[in-house]
Structure 1
């Protein structure tokens, strides 16, 4: 049995983020009904639950909506939802947002913004974030790195 693209994407996100994958707010510690619906392939129900989560201020709902957008082939929409989740403090979304800016997926390529998101994920304790940041830094100018460090300080401070 082969994994679908979105299932692989989720697996990669959690592998990158390890135990720090979702925002660690107490009310968000348990998987949402959205994930249960998603696993059961009831994507309409998953979307409904995640939109409710977002309306309640739960950034994990934005992460779920990003997965749905990715599944639908909407790279721009997925990036927008990943960044909303990242701004809400979801470490796996911070890594994925960084990757999308680094590669120009759904957004214009922006190494400064990518570096800043990798730095935020690194600060959240995400395994591999430092390696991703450093690999990108090797392609950047010192002034870009300085700008990215300043930007990282302003991002994802819920």
Structure 2
């Protein structure tokens, strides 16, 4: 046992568990009301599975929108598989929770942002980190992005 509690990792685990529970509920009952999600993830994560043309088009990160049409949503302990439509071309993606950078539901102004060690090197001081962030979908429908409250773990780090 170490001499400190790693609150950052514990928060990340809890936030990923929340995403898993939300997606499980959507798999079972569909999207309620006006709920929809913008999920930004690291396309270079070793466990991400997307079509080659998508990783070529979105090297580094990609934002997908789960809203009007999706199929084959399968939620596991490690991540989720979903089929989305990209310009009338259905593609199946596997996104592990560890690859997710942001999860936003603009219908209720809720969002999570996962900080990485690289983000600690940003010029912005943790105390100055914005709590509101605009998340924009990339080529995924006509919905305009809305501001969402983003929870940042930087404020809790020393």
With normalisation by structure 2, the TM-score equals: 0.30
Q: Give the number of the structure whose residues are more often helix, by fraction.
A: 1
**Structure (1 or 2) with the greater strand fraction:** 2
Task: Give the alignment's TM-score, normalised by structure 1.
Answer: 0.30
Higher CA-based Rg: 2
Which has the bigger relative contact order, CA under 8 A and spacing at least 6?
Answer: 2
